Structures are given as structure tokens and as C-alpha cells.
Amino acid sequence: MNTEETSRFVRLRVDLVLEVEDEDELTKAALRRLAADPKLPQEERPQAEGAVTEDTAEALAYLVDPFDLVSGVPGVELQQASWSSERIDYDPNSPDWEVDEDDGGDDDEEEDGIG
């Protein structure tokens, strides 16, 4: 296959499982980020603050920025990103645990990348 027949676009899928050891610290960090976000309209702040305060997964999703993951990679430009977070049942000792098997995820997420 030559380069004329292939797309320049690459979908990079990354699945992370994080253990939240300090929910309060995570929430405080998300609230600090919200307070410092000049692009967030004032009328949307209360809703965003409520979301990150009520749900640790929302706080984490607000703090993780896919641009940060690829901004230092030479020769690439992020075109589109979508991400979410959710609480999952996870047993790190389970030999058969696989992403999307126990976490309730699915493979029907076409909107998550370049389409």
C-alpha cells in the first residue's frame, strides 16, 4: 500500500484505569482549574462546579486534556478529541480483565476520533 492510498489521519485509542486515592484533592484541583478557566462562560460555572463536586469521575475528566498527551509529539496536530470517565469495577489481580469487558464500555464510539 503506498502513501497515496492511505489516510494521513490516525485514531489513537488509549484506555487508562486510575485509582483515585484522594477524592477531595482531585475535586479541589478540578475546582481550581474551573476557577482559572477564562473560556468558561460565567453562566456555565455553577453547573460545571456542581458536576465536578458531585462526581469524582467528572472532576477527573475535567482535569485530563488529550491535547496535553500529544502536544509535544513532533509532526502531528490534534484534529479532534473526545473523552469521558466513569467508575468501574476493577480487579487488578484478575487475569481475564480486559478494557470494555467489565467496564461497561462499547466499541460503538465513532464520534471519538477522526471520522
pLDDT digits (tens, 9 = 90+) for 45-62: 999 999 999 999 999 988
Q: Please check the confidence at residue 40 and state whether its pLDDT lies above 80.
A: yes
Q: Please check the confidence at residue 97 and state whether its pLDDT lies above 70.
A: no
State the pTM of this model: 0.65
Cell numbers 465536578 label which residue?
Answer: 52
**Would you state the cell numbers that stand for residue 6, as one nine-digit string?**
492511505
Nearest to 61 by CA among 51, 71, 69: 51
State the pLDDT at residue 45: 95
Q: How many folded domains does the chain comprise?
A: 1
Structural domain boundaries, residue 57: 3-112
Residue 114 confidence class, pLDDT cut points 50, 70, 90? very low
Residue 60 in contact with residue 18, Cβ under 8 Å?
A: yes
State the pLDDT at residue 73: 94
Q: What is the mean pLDDT of the chain?
A: 81
